Structure 1
Amino acid sequence: MKTMTSRRSLKLTLGAVAGAAVLVGTMTTSASAGPPYFPTCYTTSGTTHWYCSNLPGAEVEWAGRPAGYLLSDFNFFLCRYEGDPTGGGGPHPNRWIYTEADMDLSNGGWGFVKDSDIYSETNPLPKC
């Protein structure tokens, strides 16, 4: 009788593990889809916010120090600045994009993101 109980327990455990794996796989697939990718930053009338696709986890810098991080892959930005080399390469190696971090470390989270961390084309943004 003890063997039957052990087998039944094992079947229930394996079934629960398989079910959890399917659920996690489904959640991962859905989460990775994310918001749509926009090839060019865009704005809506009556606002100064420009919306762009970006690298999740991108560092927002102020005066050469981390001001925070962008947590999602789609954020608002205000303007672009041509300045010091970003070290990130890409089509605009000296361009920085001004925004507010999702996770604030200093300066209220306000600062600049390397243009190479923005997937969308940033030419439409106004100059800072």
Structure 2
Amino acid sequence: MRRRSWPAAWGRDGAQRLRRRQLLGVRDGIRTWCHNVSGAAVYGSIGNNRRYPDPTTVVGHMYSNPSWFYCKLDNQAWVGGPHPTRWVLTVADNGQLGWMKDTAIYSETNPLRDC
């Protein structure tokens, strides 16, 4: 079996971080890694209040998979799925803070902390 080589810039810790990322629901400080739909929209917030997702404003997309998420927020705009009113706070691949619909995440989002 051939041993996989990691980029030298990552070092040993980089390889360990990558392996951690590939697991479902792994916490990395205040973030939790989950598998998501590649290309899923990340939505902005209503007004200046980052507490409420705005389902009409797309601020970016999430092409990375798995991705990390800060927290979950229930009882918001309808998104369907097993958690029909759940949105999850993250940062889009373009660096914009925003909300992703729970239906765009394959992993179970119950382990995420509440916002």
TM-score per shorter chain, which class? 0.5 to 0.7
Cα RMSD between the aligned structures?
1.8
In structure 1, the residue matched to 2:81 is: 90
TM-score scaled to structure 2, two decimals?
Answer: 0.67
2-structure distance, mates of 1:50, 1:74: 10
Q: Report the Cα offset of residue 73 of structure 1.
A: 2.0
Higher strand share: 2
Q: Which has the larger radius of gyration?
A: 1
TM-score scaled to structure 1, two decimals?
Answer: 0.60
1:71 alignment partner AA = Y
Higher helix share: 1
Distance 1:55 1:83, change over 3 A: same
Distance 1:86 1:58, change over 3 A: farther
Aligned residues: 85
Is the Cα–Cα contact under 8 Å of residues 91 and 98 in structure 2 kept in the other structure?
yes
SS of alignment partner, residue 98 of structure 2? strand
Identify unmatched segments of 5+ residues in structure 1: 1-34
2:57 maps to 1:73: no
1-structure distance, mates of 2:22, 2:71: 22
2:107 maps to 1:120: yes
> Identity of counterpart residues, as a percentage?
36
2-structure distance, mates of 1:36, 1:83: 29
Q: Report the Cα offset of residue 67 of structure 1.
A: 1.4
In structure 1, the residue matched to 2:6 is: none
1-structure distance, mates of 2:112, 2:23: 17
Distance 1:119 1:37, change over 3 A: farther
SS of alignment partner, residue 103 of structure 1? coil
Runs of 4+ in 1 over 2 A off after TM superposition: 35-38, 83-87
2:101 maps to 1:103: no
Identify unmatched segments of 5+ residues in structure 2: 1-20, 46-53
1:54 alignment partner AA = N
Superposition pairs of residues 4-15 of structure 1, within 5 angstroms: none
Q: Report the Cα offset of residue 36 of structure 1.
A: 5.1
